[in-house]
Structure 1
Amino acid sequence: MDTRGGATSHQDADRGTAVELVYRPTAADFEEALRARAHRSPAGRVQVLMAPVAGVVAVSVFSVLRDAPLPVWIVSLVLTVSVTCWGTLRGLRTMARRMFSMVEPYGQCRTVADDRGAATAGERASFSMEWTVVREYLETPGLFVLLAGDRAAGVALLPKRGAQDPADVDRLRVILDRNVKRL
């Protein structure tokens, strides 16, 4: 509510309103968030590419030092890239399950977001954060993913399915755009 008097713009009218989301976190939410982070953030891309690049370098150096025939080198490279990519994807899935296991005890969650930050209350625990701790955010079809740092542990999610009204998703996007850098 604007107490300054005079006419208010539509954006000023939205400024004081909070958005409420009610949802139960799932492991799929965390997997979607980590995959989006891997595709769209520099830190995520480095994390995903580290194993395949290291594997290619190791196979190349070993093949050159051992004077391996070209067909052996190519097959080794293909196998190494395949295995490291598969391992990286499995690692993201494992990380998502571990992150979910930390919030699963929260049960049903209620998150209220406004211009100060977001506060989440679950059945057994609660936490709050100011937007200053969130470095940037990205949006997926089902989530808003808040990134607090370069590590995966600095990931928080706000599932869009928790919105009480479809307009709440748009209002939350406006709040995030006002307070956090979008990726």
Structure 2
Amino acid sequence: MLCSFEAGTLKPQSVLFALIVPAVLGAPRWQVRQAVRAVADRGEFRVVPDGAGLTVANAESVTTLSWSEQRYHLETPELFLLLGGDEETGVMTLLPKRGTDEPARLGELTARHTSALPGG
């Protein structure tokens, strides 16, 4: 039995379970909140795709990502999600369709330089 409160005693397994489960389940949400907060603090981002890759700029910096760094794409009704990086570092770039007058052209460009996400 995992949890037992018989005779006013609490088993160590119950205590560990009560502490570890919320930490494990809450860690991904905490990480996402931290990432969103860090991005929000930098203000508006502008992404300019071209034949060489993507230029990502905000008020603080400009970064250029080659298409070879963006291996996969996933298209949703509202955005293109580009995924890349290596085993240690993941790179995710969101391209909202509302940011362009020609979403079909953006889709063609991403499809030409990246592979569709397997299973997506």
Q: TM-score, normalised by structure 2?
A: 0.65
Cα shift at 1:161? 2.3
Residue 115 (str. 1) matches residue 51 (str. 2): yes
1:157 aligns with 2:94: yes
> 1:152 & 1:123 partners in 2: Cα distance?
24
Larger strand proportion of the pair: 2
Unaligned segments of structure 1, at least 5 residues: 1-61, 63-82
Deviation string for 1:4-52 (max 9, x for gaps)? xxxxxxxxxxxxxxxxxxxxxxxxxxxxxxxxxxxxxxxxxxxxxxxxx
| Partner residue in 2 for 1:172 | 106
CA distance in 2, matches of 1:95, 1:159: 22
CA contact (8 A) 1:145 1:157 kept: yes
Give the CA RMSD over aligned residues. Answer: 2.7
The answer on 1:126 being equivalent to 2:41 is no
Q: CA deviation at 1:136?
A: 0.7
Between Structure 1 and Structure 2, the one with more helix by share is 1
Residues 100-133 of structure 1 deviation map (CA, whole Å, 9 limit, x = unaligned): 2332233122211012101011122221100011
Inter-partner Cα distance in structure 2 for 1:159 and 1:132: 21
Among all aligned residue pairs of Structure 1 and Structure 2, give the percentage whose two residues are the same amino acid: 33
SS at match of 1:123: coil
Is residue 106–residue 125 contact of structure 1 (8 Å, CA) maintained in 2?
no
* TM-score normalised by structure 1 residue count: 0.45
Structure 2 residues without counterparts, runs of 5 or longer: 3-20
Give SS of 1:136's match: strand
Measure the CA separation in 1 of the matches of 2:29 and 2:106.
27
Q: Cα distance 1:147–1:108, how it changes in 2: closer, same or farther (>3 A)?
A: same
